[in-house]
Structure 1
Amino acid sequence: MTETQTPPRRHSRRAFLGGAAGVLFAAGAGTAGWALDRFVVDHVEVADASAYEAASGVDAGTTATTNGTVSGDTYTSDQATITISTVVTGSGDSTVTYFVADVVLTDATALRSAFADDEFGLNIVDEPSDIAASVGAVFAVNGDYYGFRETGIVIRNGVAYRDAGAREGMAFYRDGTVRVYDETATTADQLVADGVWNTLSFGPAIVLNGAVVAGIDDVEVDTNVGNHSIQGDQPRTAVGVIGTNHLVFVVVDGRSEGYSEGVTLPELAEIFVGLGAVTAYNIDGGGSSTMVFDGALVNDPLGKGSERGTSDVLYIA
């Protein structure tokens, strides 16, 4: 298939994921079936998604590759240099703990995405560390949880999977540039033709032109059940751009008294400004906020050493 083609849709596979079923049944018999089908039962549209991936610069041999090495909190290879740091601010109940991954790439396509179970569709989830392990990732963060919604432009590893523009997205280009864009003003195929390698559809943008974006403390990303607001002190995941092929990822722990209370969106933006980011974009947070490095969890997503399943990760192998 060519890089601008959308993979063929497959017949949906239906299997209960448990957990949320009891909550949804409590909504009433009339709505439970719909709610389960929409938010719990997994619907596979593309199986074996990695088979459709477009050729990357690394695949094409434009970047020499050797086995990378990990030394303490730093990973170095011909494709990327990654440095992990931990920051603790405040004290007592106002303590905030967050983790920074400074990533310098030699080829922008070394930053990849992976779907849970290697399948694209709704409600398909796995723990981020398991997704990372399945693709041999040395570094990974949770993605935008595309599978919780039916809208947004989804381009992953050079392939368009969904074209339903609805919000402010972030596009990662093959040449190492990263831009915030209006999904409703373009198409997935056009973005792929223009050289987009990956997209994120969550938001909002929290830093533009090196400054905190005004009004982000009032933004609603979605209107799905239980997901109207992303405000207040929360665990967070976001990505910032320092320059071409120079990214910074921040994961903030939260909801854990005395360890980390989380941050507001303006506070998250200030972190990125302090790191020198000219652009920063909020992605899925809360209990999904996860960073993995060298096969181990860096942060504590749920405050008890465990993870919550999500649809996808961004990673470097």
Structure 2
Amino acid sequence: MTSDNTPKRRLSRRGFLAGGLGVLAAAGGASAWALDRYVIDHVEVTRTSGLAAANVVAAEAASDGTATATSYTSDTATIAIDTVATGSGSDKVTYFVAEIKVKDATIVRSAFANDEFGENITANPSTIAKSVNAVLAINGDYYGFRDTGIVIRNGVKFRDSGARTGLAFYADGTAKLYDETTTGADELLAAGVWNTLSFGPGLVENGKVLSGIDQVEVDTNFGNHSIQGNQPRTGVGLIAANHLLWIVVDGRSSGYSRGVTMTEFAQIFADRGASVAYNIDGGGSSAMVFRDRLVNNPLGRGEERGTSDILYVAG
């Protein structure tokens, strides 16, 4: 099965194939490995398989809530979106804060590109969001770029290969940072975990910005690059049970938004009252979609980049 993006677009996903397919061809045996690892779809679960029919998230009924350009209210959720611009000139930073309150934590969900779980399966966040009638969505942790991490989505285990600091959302509306290498997916499910994210680093814990986060490397696998420096970023946080913050910072666009460091990003969450916060996939992948409209301006060009997954608020 194919994704919404062409192989050419996937090749640019992380910059590791800057020289294109010609470089891969010149690499001999390495080319086949790289193509298999980073370009060719590896679908593990689809909607039509027995597991997916029950467990990969389905489209929700159209919401009967009321919405404006920056807010949404229904019987199950309230959402308010702030646009913040600080600084000026080359030091200007523009970001978007969605404050979300839900009555049931399980309406905060994940959806996969093309309703498929596996590696190298991508679609634009707005496309995924529309397929599930999301009220609000952000790009996810791009689980499909790697084959490690604990992936629990909407109460279902999809991957159990602990490798880094993760974030667990519980069905009671709470969330916490945890060490993936000291637990397993079954244990987390038994404890009531509804969704996990596997990227990082953790940004805030107990309301405090964590130290050393400007030196963390999430992955060392082939093709990844540093997540440090001034970058566009996407992150999630929790103020209290069922009270979330989703923040997207634009970047790499002089005069509009330079992006932020990891510590700056953490401080935004802390200043907004987050008790816990976590960094997920960023760069050109950073996207916020509200009522089928792209809220932010990725890389200053207004163009989305395909990703494996989204987090969203169901209507």
Same-fold status (TM-score > 0.5): yes
Equivalent-residue separation in structure 2 for 1:14 and 1:69 (angstroms):
36
Shift, 1:24, TM fit: 4.5
Aligned partner of 2:55 among 53, 56, 60? 53
- Alignment of structure 1 residues 14-25 onto 2, 5 Å: 17-19=7-9, 20=11, 23-25=20-22
Summarize deviations over 1:101-125 as a string: whole Å, max 9, x none: 0000100001000000000000000
Equivalent-residue separation in structure 1 for 2:261 and 2:104 (angstroms):
33
- Tell me the amino acid that sits aligned with residue 131 of structure 1: I
Summarize deviations over 1:262-306 as a string: whole Å, max 9, x none: 000000011011101111100000000000001100001132111
Query: Which residue of structure 2 lines up, in the alignment, with residue 234 of structure 1?
Result: 231
Aligned partner of 1:276 among 273, 276, 288? 273
Query: Which residue of structure 2 lines up, in the alignment, with residue 31 of structure 1?
Result: 30
Query: Which residue of structure 1 lines up, in the alignment, with residue 299 of structure 2?
Result: 302
Alpha-carbon contact 1:236-1:262 (below 8 Å) kept:
yes
SS in structure 2 at match of 1:255: coil
Shift, 1:54, TM fit: 8.5
Aligned partner of 1:198 among 186, 195, 200? 195
- Tell me the amino acid that sits aligned with residue 288 of structure 2: M
Query: Which residue of structure 2 lines up, in the alignment, with residue 183 of structure 1?
Result: 180
- Tell me the amino acid that sits aligned with residue 145 of structure 2: F
Shift, 1:17, TM fit: 2.3
Summarize deviations over 1:17-44 as a string: whole Å, max 9, x none: 2332762441423311110110001100
Runs of 5+ in structure 1 lacking a partner?
1-12, 60-64
- Alignment of structure 1 residues 245-264 onto 2, 5 Å: 245-264=242-261
Query: Which residue of structure 2 lines up, in the alignment, with residue 207 of structure 1?
Result: 204
Runs of 5+ in structure 2 lacking a partner?
12-16
Aligned residues: 298
Structure 1 residue runs of 4+, over 6 Å off? none
- Alignment of structure 1 residues 49-198 onto 2, 5 Å: 51-53=53-55, 67-198=64-195
SS in structure 2 at match of 1:45: strand
Query: Which residue of structure 2 lines up, in the alignment, with residue 5 of structure 1?
Result: none
Equivalent-residue separation in structure 2 for 1:280 and 1:43 (angstroms):
31
Equivalent-residue separation in structure 2 for 1:72 and 1:14 (angstroms):
34
SS in structure 2 at match of 1:232: coil
Alpha-carbon contact 2:2-2:121 (below 8 Å) kept:
no
Query: Which residue of structure 2 lines up, in the alignment, with residue 221 of structure 1?
Result: 218
SS in structure 1 at match of 2:123: coil
Alpha-carbon contact 1:217-1:231 (below 8 Å) kept:
yes
* Identity score, percent: 62
Equivalent-residue separation in structure 2 for 1:14 and 1:128 (angstroms):
17
Equivalent-residue separation in structure 1 for 2:278 and 2:125 (angstroms):
20
1:315 aligns with 2:312: yes
Summarize deviations over 1:206-258 as a string: whole Å, max 9, x none: 11111110000100000122324110000000011100000001000000010
Equivalent-residue separation in structure 1 for 2:292 and 2:225 (angstroms):
34
- Tell me the amino acid that sits aligned with residue 29 of structure 2: G
- Tell me the amino acid that sits aligned with residue 18 of structure 1: K
SS in structure 1 at match of 2:167: strand
Alpha-carbon contact 2:214-2:263 (below 8 Å) kept:
yes
Structure 1 residues 25 and 209: CA distance shift in structure 2, 3 A: same
